[in-house]
Amino acid sequence: MGKVTGFKEFDRKTEDYRPVELRIKDYGEIFTGTHNIAQLQEQGARCMDCGVPFCQSENGCPVDNLIPEWNDLVYNDKWQEALIRLHKTNNFPEFTGRVCPAPCEGSCVLGINNPAVTIKNIEQTIIDRGFEEGWIQPHMVEYRTGKKIAIIGSGPAGLAAADELNKIGHSVTVFERDDRIGGLLMYGIPNMKLGKDVVDRRVDLLKDSGVEFITNVNVGQDTTTADLQKEFDALVFTTGATQARDLPVANRDADGVHMAMEYLSKNTKSLLDTGHADDSDLSAKGKDVIVIGGGDTGTDCIGTALRQGAKSIVNFELMGKPPQDRADNNPWPLWPLIYRVDYGHAEAAQVFGNDPRQYHLMTKSFIKDDAGKVTGLNTVNVDFKDGQLIEIEGSEKTWDTQLVLLSMGFVSPEHYLSDDADIKLDARGNYQATYGEYLTSKKGVFTAGDCRRGQSLVVWAIHEGRGVAEKVDQYLTHH
């Protein structure tokens, strides 16, 4: 694929973000918005004729993107054809091209002994160009089946299922408890990583294609699943894994200790509603901020706190600092567990002079004043021996803080919907349904995405949304 000798001739070059000193002054996307076409074609040329493209295998792309094909088409300047190939497997490349951590690059065959092809940059450019050139239009449905489907939750899984079912000709209504459509895409991922105009643009396309959206309706509380089942032929639960993992230590009730997602969503809502994100009652302005937990959400908290004008930012990680290169027990094509500097880390390092992350730290308790406000927290250094966590004596430390953000992942979906629907849960508290079948314990009720599989990636949500659409269609065809 690409140029036969391209992988030997060209080095990996990723697209630059906007300069840190400019982008931290606003909530605009960190991407420059312009693409160096010649550089991207050169990167497409690096795609090897590798025989077995692991990039689209189980360890690579969950939606089985036809990566070598569109790399080759980009190299040969056939952008519209590349877009057609990209849309064959991925409903929303403008989301994954921005927020996906790119497991495809982790399993790129070239990555065995060279830096991988810049697959994510190429994907984002194909879709961005598609919109610029007007190649992406609403999907006009010529025939309606008369079958009606209700989808509960408008995140990436729900939107993918809606898109696929609508294309088949079924009538789809998506219910969302928030005031805007998009779920995690709207309120869980900050504007600088995924502009909300990008989300709205795709939602508008779905509306114009015939999908109906209803906001501010919390199914399971405002209305019951029993009522919906009278009106709809099938229900699909795609509510995400929104029950965050808590930190049950002393003084957890201190004012100023918040879940990361509460912080991020309130900031985004304030920004979208009034344009003044700093007016939120959850602002980091002038505060010593501590983010507990890493991952994408932790990074997003760092980037947001920085833009709000935090006085200082520290990020606690329980585990040790990852190695620069793959460890022996982390071979290709597994996801490389290596040290990475994400956008928030780079921004904090430039503003405060050092990377905000501190490793091997465990929070023991919070400290609050007489008014109940958090003023600090106590930590101890830890180590791991034979899989056991060991506290290191004499390493106790007290930190000043007025805002603590808990970013330790998510344990399951909230359960009021499953209680209302009376469906079974699995051992981890997720809606129980077999992968590939997506049917819950109740006839006509399906589920997909993080609420079924547990906290995961946007690209996995799209994969499951596409999968559940196929199963719902089969069910409706036979009922």
Q: Enumerate the domain spans of the chain.
A: 6-132, 148-242+412-477, 246-408
Tokens of 353: 């002079």
Q: What percent of the chain has pLDDT over 70?
A: 99
- Please give the C-alpha separations between residue 479 and each of 166, 236, 435, in angstroms, as whole numbers: 18, 16, 22
State the average pLDDT over residues 85-104: 97
Helix (H, G, I), strand (E, B) or coil at 439: strand
pLDDT tens for each residue of 389-421: 999 999 999 999 999 999 999 999 999 999 999
Span 267-288, pLDDT tens digits: 999 999 988 765 666 899 999 9
**Does 101 sit behind a cis peptide bond, omega within 30 degrees of 0 on the bond before it?**
no
Exposed, middle or buried: residue 332 (CB in 10 Å: 0-12, 13-18, 19+)? middle
Rounded mean pLDDT, 438-446:
97
* Inter-residue contact 376 to 400 (CB < 8 Å): yes
User: 370 pLDDT band (50/70/90 cuts)?
Assistant: very high
* CA-based torsion, 425, 428, 434, 436: positive or negative: positive
> What residue type is assigned to position 115 of the chain?
P
**Residue 7 pLDDT:** 93
User: Following DSSP, what letter does each residue of 256-295 receive, concatenated?
Assistant: TEEEHHHHHHHHHHHHHHHS-GGGSTT--TT-EEEEE--H
Local structure of residue 320 (DSSP, 8 states): P
User: For position 479, what pLDDT does the model report?
Assistant: 76
Return phi, psi of residue 316, to 5°: -90, 135
Q: Buried b / exposed e across 356-377, counting CB within 10 Å, b at 16+?
A: bbbebbbbeebbbeeeeebbbb
What's the confidence (pLDDT) of residue 59?
A: 87
Mean pLDDT, residues 219-227 taken together: 96
Closest CA to 234 of 74, 20, 470: 470
148-242+412-477 matches 246-408 in fold = yes
Q: For residue 420, how far is the Cα from the chain centroid?
A: 27
Q: So what's the pLDDT on residue 58?
A: 82
* CATH superfamily of this structure's domain 148-242+412-477: FAD/NAD(P)-binding domain (3.50.50.60)
Residues 121, 145: Cα–Cα separation, whole Å? 39
Output the DSSP codes for 396-434. -EEEE-SEEEE---EEE--SHHHHHHT--B-TTSSBP--
Whether the pLDDT of residue 222 is over 70: the answer is: yes
Q: Which numeric CATH code is attached to 6-132?
A: 1.10.1060.10
Q: Which CATH architecture has domain 246-408?
A: 3-Layer(bba) Sandwich (3.50)
Sequence letter at residue 64: D
3-state secondary structure 31-79: ECCCCCHHHHHHHHHCCCCCCCCHHHCCCCCCCCCCHHHHHHHHHCCCH
Q: Which of 35, 39, 32, 45 is nearest to 4 (CA)?
A: 45
With bands split at pLDDT 50, 70 and 90, how would you rate the model's confidence at 51?
Answer: confident
Amino acid 276: pLDDT: 77
pTM of the model: 0.96
